[in-house]
Each structure stands twice: as C-alpha cells, then as structure tokens.
Structure 1
Amino acid sequence: MELTQVRLLVTDFASCYRFYRDVLGLEPQFAAEEGPYAKFTPDGGTGGIALQDRAQMAQVLRELAVEPRGFRSLVVLRVDDIDGYCKEISARGAELVRGPSPMTDRMRVAHVMDPAGNLVELQQWLAPRG
C-alpha cells in the first residue's frame, strides 16, 4: 500500500490554492487556481497535499454538502529553519496562530490556518528521533 496524498475538502478553492502556493510556497503539480482539484508535493516529500472542491465531492457523497465545524484536519510540514520560514510566510500573508515555540525538547513548532480553517503545523526537528 502507498499513500498518494492527503486531500483537503475546501469551499473557497481559489483562496486555499493561493495559500498553499503563494503563502506556504508549495509547488503545484499543475496550474489549477480555479479547481476543482490540485495537488502540491513538498520538497523531498512523497505523496502530497491535495485540494478538492467540497461542492464537487458533495455531488458524489451528499453528506459533504454541510460545512464541518471545528478543526477536522492537521497538515504537518517539516522545515529546516522555522523562524526564517515563519517570517517569510508572514510577509506573504500568513497569520501565525501559535509559535514558533518548543513542542518537545526535540522539536519546535508553529501553527497557521488556511482559508478553509484547516490547521497547518510547521515543525523544525532539533534532534533526530532515537
């Protein structure tokens, strides 16, 4: 079995697409700002993060027509320099929800929210897992 992607269902596709491309700096596999689907593969990563227009998916699974409440997902991205990356994405419009701050003695994290309300955790590993 192989994980091909984590797909986030979003209502405002264009805003979310621009957030992952322009703010977080992830490279889309193809230009698709108006949707209904796009996939981003982080540097050196496997699989990826995909966006799917919620209305299109609701045509397949009718129960998705209702917008969820509260956090439903957490996307985690590892970066080499969390302070520098947070400054960079803040300059491009990201609003930090928390951090950067220690999570454990081996990791520092920061959190941002995408336009659909999905939480994105940025991690900098200070020491490898042992």
Structure 2
Amino acid sequence: MNLKYIYTRLHVQNYLDCKRFYQDILGLKVSLANDAEEYAEFDAGATKITILNRARLKDYVDSIESATYDRNDAKIILTFAVPNLDDAIAQLKAKGVVVFSSPWQFSDDGLAGGWLSAGIRDPDGNIIELQQILS
C-alpha cells in the first residue's frame, strides 16, 4: 500500500462561522469553496484542512449515528507552528479569540529546547494548538 496524506476534514455544525474563522482569523487561504454544499478547503502548508457541515454527512455516508460530537471529547487537534507564540496569541486576542490554555512548555529529546504551546478553539469547539519550537 502506498499512502499519501492529503487533508484533514472537520465535520462542523456552524459552517459559515468556521469558514470565516479559518479564513479571516487564522488567515488560511481558501483553495476551494462551495457554500451551497457547505464545503471548503484551506491551504495549510504541505496539506489541506477541509470543513463540511456535519448535517450533510447523511449525503455521503450510510449511517450518521456512529459519529459523535462531544465538545469535551476532542477526537482531533489541529496543530500549527508559529514563529513567536506570544505574538500569535496577541494577534488572536485582538480578533476576539479566547485562548483557553495559556502557554506551557514541553521538552522532547528530539528537540533541543522543546516547544511552547497554547490552545484555542474554532467556532465549533475543535481544539487548535499553536506551537513555537524553542532552540
């Protein structure tokens, strides 16, 4: 098997709010959008992030009952690298984004200085982690 990772899709409840968040707040470029179908793709470096209104899942899968969406049960966390975590936090706060997890530092044998991380949520409650690699 020859797998190539192409994107992460988030099934969101508030399509337009999430689209605005990823485009206007995080500054990701929209590479494809079909608002009538409530689907959008965003360039995120070497991969893409896509969003689809979760109510439309029934159009694509046999059983929606198996999908759960508990705000307190994060099944996925999107992580973005930033050059300066304090600057990124200041920019997000200026746009009204709540930082729910203040910066904390991790150490890792693979990274000499470890990294700093902070957490925010998109309008649907998906966790987004911002990381600054420390040298």
TM-score, reference length from structure 2: 0.82
Correspondence list, 1:80-95, <5 A? 80-95=83-98
User: Alignment length, in residue pairs?
Assistant: 125
C-alpha RMSD of matched pairs (Å): 2.0
Structure number with larger C-alpha Rg:
2
Q: Per-residue CA shift, 1:28-85, capped at 9, x if unaligned?
A: 114556651111112xx21111111111123322325865112221001111111101
Contiguous gaps of at least 5 residues in structure 1? none
1:121 Cα shift?
0.3
Contiguous gaps of at least 5 residues in structure 2? 108-112
Match of 1:114 in 2: 122
Q: Runs ≥4 in structure 1, deviation > 3 angstroms?
A: 30-35, 64-67
Match of 2:43 in 1: 41
1:21 Cα shift?
1.1
The percentage of counterpart residues that share the same residue type is 27
Q: CA–CA distance in 2 between the matches of 1:67 and 1:11?
A: 12
TM-score, reference length from structure 1: 0.85
Secondary structure of 1:88's partner? helix
